[in-house]
Each structure stands twice: as C-alpha cells, then as structure tokens.
Amino acid sequence: MSTLRSHDDTWDIRTSVGSTAVMVAAARAVETDQPDALIRDPYAKLLVTNANAGVLWEAMLDPAVAAKVEKLDAEAAAMVRHMRGYQAVRTNFFDTFFADAVAAGIRQVVILASGLDSRAYRLDWPAGTTVYEIDQPQVLEYKSATLADNGVTPSAERRAVAIDLRQDWPAALREAGFDPSARTAWLAEGLLMYLPAEAQDRLFTLIGELSPAGSRIAAETATSHADERREQMRARIKKIAEQIGLEQTIDIGELMYRDEHRAPVAGWLNDHGWRASAVSSGDEMQRLGRWVAEVPMADDKDAFSEFVTAERL
C-alpha cells in the first residue's frame, strides 16, 4: 500500500500524483527530439517548462544532466534511459490504439486521468470525433490554459471533465455530453498503479456499463517490483540527485498502491464481457529498439507492465 495516499487526497500539477504527469511529459519531450523518435509530441516541452514542478523533471530535458548521471552511476543512468524509452513505447502503443479505433469508425474517446496527455491536440482525429478528458480540476485547467495561451488548439472537439475518478465521474461524463449508446474508445494509461485493487475493479465495471458492443479499451497494467530492489534504486537515485544538485521532491514509488489482490487486467476483462489481449511492455520495447539490457530489473518479468487492449462483446 502507498503511505502517501488517502481516500480523499487531491493534487495539482506540481504535487502528488499530478507531478508524475510532468515526468511523463518530460520523457515524451526528450523522445520527440530524438532523430529516430517513435512519437511526436510538440507540446510536451511547453507543458513541462511552464509547470514549475521542480528541477528534477525539467532536468530530464537537459542532455548535460544525463551525462553527469552516466559518470556517477552507469546503472542508474540505464534506469533513466529505460524510463524514457518505456514512455516512448507506451505512447506509441496507445497512439496506435486510437488510430485503429477511429479507423473502425469510433468517434467518441475518453482519456481517464488524462494529466498532460496532448492527444486531443496532436493526433489527427477524423471529423466528428469528440475527446473527453477526465482529471482533477487543477490539472485540466493548467493544461488548457497553457496550450491556449500559446495558441494551441485541439484537433478534435475536446471536452474537459473536471472530476476525481473516485467520485461519480460517469454522471459528470454524461453531463458533458457523453453518449453511452455510442461506441467509445477508452484509455487508462498511467493510472492503475495509483488505484488500489478494489478501485481498479470498480473503474472497469463502470466503463463496462457505459460501453455498448464494439467499444474498445486500452490500459497499462500496474507492475510489481521487489521491495528490496525498489529500496536500492530509491537510495541510489536520491544519492545521485544530491550529488548533482537536483531537488527530489516526490518519491513516485510512495504514490503507488502495491496491492497483492490486484486482478490481472486482461483476465478480468475477458471474464466481464470483453475480448482482451495483452502485450508485454518489455517485448514491445525490444521490438521497437528501446530495450535497455543494463537495467537491474531486466530479468524480472513482474517489473514490466502489460499493455492491454479489448473490445466489448
């Protein structure tokens, strides 16, 4: 269980779970600048640098910082490369999921806990597509205002649904115009690890109630790292941050729920009216040339999430 979470905690883009969205956007920004980039997110850097979420996240955009980490601890540097590569592969996988969904005629999209996801702005959506983004009010406000202030407009009809997923979000979604009779493409990316097992099951139950046949869902599963290895890496990262003068204000591991009763996502969906399949993120990283063999958990299957996709029967 997480020691920093409570049933009624909240956050903005600079605190708690909200700050992890900045980390993910920073990784997307770095990938976008690579000559062999898997994805293109032209708004990620803008969203990171305006967040003022702490120097640790912004430092990810600086190649000089990566070089310093490499000199101090090659294995920790491999972890940084792994994280960046993982985020690129994850983003690419779910971008493809949405491309396939709209190619199949789906025109209603819901991104759960959308954070600094810019897909409503950067993907090429067909005419008539509506993208609903659900997240904490302050997170959605920051993204909307930052992009609008810089002249960035959505490429689909975007509707922000400002509500905590622990509240009655289906009602808020309907009030925003969501049509429960229309086929929908759902995304739960970077979300399940911040939910306890019971809340994960409840989330998918509610999604099922809002999804007619032919709807689709994609999700990133929560991983299960060995406690000893997690503590070792936490100590090493803390030491390196101190050596190069970076402020580490958030311990991401302490924001996650490590719940041994968590149901396997693909299996749960297959048992509840969906046809689901799963792809190992490690396999996907190898396929796309982003595998980092030097990471300490390279031989730990449970340390790698799965990317699950499913269709409602």
1 located within any domain: no
- pLDDT for the residue 2: 42
112 located within any domain: yes
Q: How many domains does one find in the chain?
A: 1
Question: Domain containing 302 — which CATH number?
Answer: 3.40.50.150
12 located within any domain: no
- pLDDT for the residue 150: 96
| Residues across the chain | 313
* Structural tokens at position 216: 């689709």
* Structural tokens at position 197: 């097992």
44 located within any domain: yes
8 located within any domain: no
2 located within any domain: no
Other C-beta atoms within 10 Å of 221: how many?
22
Residue with tokens 């409840």, as numbered in its chain: 202
In terms of DSSP bridges, do strands 108-112 and 184-188 run parallel, antiparallel, or are they unpaired? parallel
Residue with tokens 């897909």, as numbered in its chain: 119
CA 21 – CA 116 distance, rounded (Å): 6
Other C-beta atoms within 10 Å of 63: how many?
10
- pLDDT for the residue 274: 98
152 located within any domain: yes
What's the helix, strand, coil split of the chain in %, to 5?
45, 15, 40
**pTM for this predicted structure:** 0.87
Domain span including residue 219: 17-312
pLDDT, mean of each 10-residue run, the chain (313 residues): 46 56 87 93 91 62 70 74 89 98 98 96 98 94 96 98 94 98 97 89 97 98 66 65 62 60 93 97 94 72 86 98
9 located within any domain: no
- pLDDT for the residue 58: 60
Q: Where are the beta strands (DSSP E) in 226-290?
A: 274-280
CB within 8 A of 130, min separation 6: which ones?
Answer: 107, 108, 109, 156, 157, 158, 159, 177
Q: Residue 195, CB half-sphere, CA atoms under 13 Å: how many? A: 24
CA 29 – CA 265 distance, rounded (Å): 29
